Amino acid sequence: MDGFFGGLEQSLRDRNWHAVLVMSLTLPDICVKASDPSRKTNRTRYAAWFEQHVGPSYTRSVGAQQYRQEHKFLSGDDCYALRCALLHEGSTDTSEQRASDVFDSFRFFAPGADGNVNHMNQDGGKLYLMVDVFAKDMLAGARAWWDSLTPAEQTAAKARQLTVTTTDGGMAI
C-alpha cells in the first residue's frame, strides 16, 4: 500500500488535484479487494468500507444546542456515486448515478492563498468539499485500515498489489 499512499501524498504536495481525487476515490476499492481477494469490489462493499473507515469524519452534530442532530454530510453510497462519475465520466455530476443517495453533484475547492475553507457545506443537492481535506480523510481511513491488518494479512495483500520495476530490473515502487 506504500506506493498508493505515497503517490497520494506526493500528488497532494504537488497540488495535482485531479490525481488527488482519482487516487482518493480508488483507495476504498483497493482496500476492499485487499481485505477479501476472492470477491470483486462493488457498490455495497465500497460504501460499507467508506462508512466504517471514513464516514465518521463526514458526520457532525448540527443545529442549536437544544435541537442538535447527527447529520451525515457524505455517505458511502454518495461517495461511490462520485467515484463512478469521476472515474467513468470525468464529472462530479452524480445525478445519473444509481448509487447516488442525497447529492446530485459535488464541487471541490483547492486551498488558496487566502486560507479560506469551504468543506462539508451543502446547498440543496450539491456538496462542497475541500479537495485536500477530503484526500487526507480518505488517506487517514486507508492507513488506519491497513494498520488494523495482521502482518500476515499485510504480507498477502502486498503480494497481490501492483509493483513497478525499472527497466534495469530495480524496484521503482
Residue spans of the domains in the chain: they are 2-160
**pLDDT at residue 93, rounded to an integer:** 81
**pLDDT at residue 104, rounded to an integer:** 81
Q: C-alpha cell of 31?
A: 482496500
126: exposed, middle or buried (C-beta count within 10 Å: 0-12, 13-18, 19+)? middle
Q: CB count, 10 Å around CB of 161?
A: 14
**pLDDT at residue 169, rounded to an integer:** 65
Helix (H/G/I), strand (E/B), else coil: 61: strand
**pLDDT at residue 172, rounded to an integer:** 60
For residue 23, CA distances in Å to 11, 63, 86 come to 9, 34, 11
pTM over 0.85: yes
**pLDDT at residue 20, rounded to an integer:** 96
Q: For cell 497532494, name the residue.
A: 12
User: If you ran DSSP here, which 8-state letter would residue 165 be given?
Assistant: B
Pick the closest to residue 97 from 24, 46, 34 (CA basis).
Answer: 46
For residue 120, CA distances in Å to 20, 71, 88, 128, 171 come to 18, 11, 24, 6, 40
Within 13 Å, how many C-alpha atoms sit on residue 82's CB side? Answer: 29
Which residues does the chain have with pLDDT short of 70? 162-166, 169-173
